[in-house]
């Protein structure tokens, strides 16, 4: 058995011990109760080289190909600061959003919460088209049929005639309103 004394510790052995102590401390710090966020829950550019993000208590660590960087507290959005591990896990795994990571020119990172829109996009577009077209038609053809109602027994004939006269002007506007409504509906309900 080797007895350790101050004299037989060489520089190399001291370096090994300090490296081992530092690694042990880092492993204890990182793996005590961390939350590991993989690449699927991170929105970042490929140039940043982010592999994972670790949340430990109130601190965030970004793992890149070059090593581990701690994110300053002022560079983490308020919404991420207030979430505990359970809330953040349900936010990411539930498909509600991702963590957006931006890298500054000095190599530091900024983390923000990026919420995805609910819905399917296509259903919102279909609803937007129907609402847009029928809103224009109701606003133009509705008053025509109200006025035609004053014609007494000839109301169906007068209403049909006036609708036919207005149709070449109303329908292009209704189709345009449908297209705009469809785009708005798709953007409002589709995933971002």
The predicted-structure confidence for 116-167, as pLDDT tens digits, reads as follows 755 557 788 888 899 999 999 999 999 999 999 999 999 999 999 999 999 9
Provide the percentage of residues in the chain whose pLDDT is more than 90: 25
**Long-range interactions of 102-107: CB distance < 8 A, separation 24+:** 102/44, 103/44, 103/45, 103/47, 103/48, 107/69
Asked whether the predicted pLDDT for residue 111 surpasses 90, the reply is: no
| 1 pLDDT tier (thresholds 50, 70, 90) | very low
The answer to whether residues 148 and 155 touch, using CB atoms and an 8 Å cutoff, is yes
- What is the predicted pLDDT for the residue at 187? 77
Helix (H) / strand (E) element for 33: namely none
Both tokens of 29, joined, read 């710090």
Question: Number of helices (H) and strands (E), helices first, in the chain?
Answer: 5, 7
Q: Domain residues of the chain, as ranges?
A: 33-115, 122-189
**Whole-prediction pTM:** 0.46
Closest among 90, 30, 39, 22 to 57, alpha carbons compared: 30
Sequential DSSP letters for 39-77: GGGEE--GGG-EEEEEEETTEEEEEETTEEEEEPGGGB-
């Amino acid at each position: 058995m080797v007895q350790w004394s101050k004299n037989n510790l060489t520089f190399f052995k001291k370096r090994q011990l300090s490296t081992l102590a530092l690694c042990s401390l880092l492993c204890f710090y990182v793996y005590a109760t961390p939350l590991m966020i993989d690449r699927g829950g991170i929105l970042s550019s490929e140039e940043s080289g982010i592999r994972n993000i670790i949340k430990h208590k109130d601190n965030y660590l970004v793992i890149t190909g070059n090593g581990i960087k701690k994110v300053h507290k002022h560079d983490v959005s308020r919404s991420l600061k207030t979430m505990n591990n359970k809330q953040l896990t349900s936010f990411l795994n539930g498909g509600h959003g991702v963590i957006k990571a931006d890298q500054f020119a000095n190599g530091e990172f900024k983390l923000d919460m990026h919420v995805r829109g609910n819905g399917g996009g296509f259903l919102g577009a279909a609803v937007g088209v129907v609402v847009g077209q029928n809103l224009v038609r109701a606003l133009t053809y509705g008053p025509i049929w109200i006025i035609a109602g004053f014609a007494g027994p000839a109301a169906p004939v007068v209403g049909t005639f006036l609708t036919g006269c207005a149709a070449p002007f109303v329908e292009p506007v209704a189709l345009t309103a449908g297209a705009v409504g469809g785009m708005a509906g798709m953007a409002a309900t589709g995933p971002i």
